[in-house]
């Protein structure tokens, strides 16, 4: 709570929102790219060559992508709501 009081006293809310907007693409796109690369690697090395050792890469890629979607949707919604409230 003290951190929020400090932010409100110093009127840094707009700066914080801008910073979050700048880093949002990195937080959203980077895990998606890593997940797709893992799934692609599984497809090439595991599925096409029928090697079951790469099955863990499929699961890891799916977990990264699904987790990214689950946590990024509320983050984006709250960021949009907060940016509208501070205009």
- pLDDT given for residue 2 in this prediction: 56
Name the E strands within the chain. none
Determine the Cα–Cα distance for residues 34 and 53; give it in Å rounded to an integer: 19
What is the SS3 assignment for 1? coil
Between the CA atoms of 8, 20, 75 and 82, what dihedral angle is there, to the nearest 10 degrees?
40
Q: What is the pLDDT of residues 7-58, one digit of tens each?
A: 555 566 677 777 777 888 888 899 999 999 999 999 999 888 888 888 999 9
pTM exceeding the 0.85 threshold for the entire prediction:
no
């Amino acid at each position: 709570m003290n951190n929020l009081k400090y932010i409100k006293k110093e009127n840094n809310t707009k700066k914080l929102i801008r910073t979050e907007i700048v880093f949002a693409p990195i937080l959203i796109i980077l895990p998606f790219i890593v997940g797709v690369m893992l799934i692609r690697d599984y497809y090439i090395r595991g599925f096409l060559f029928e090697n079951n050792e790469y099955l863990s890469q499929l699961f890891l890629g799916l977990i990264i992508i699904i987790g990214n979607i689950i946590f990024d949707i509320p983050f984006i919604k709250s960021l949009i709501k907060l940016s509208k409230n501070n205009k």
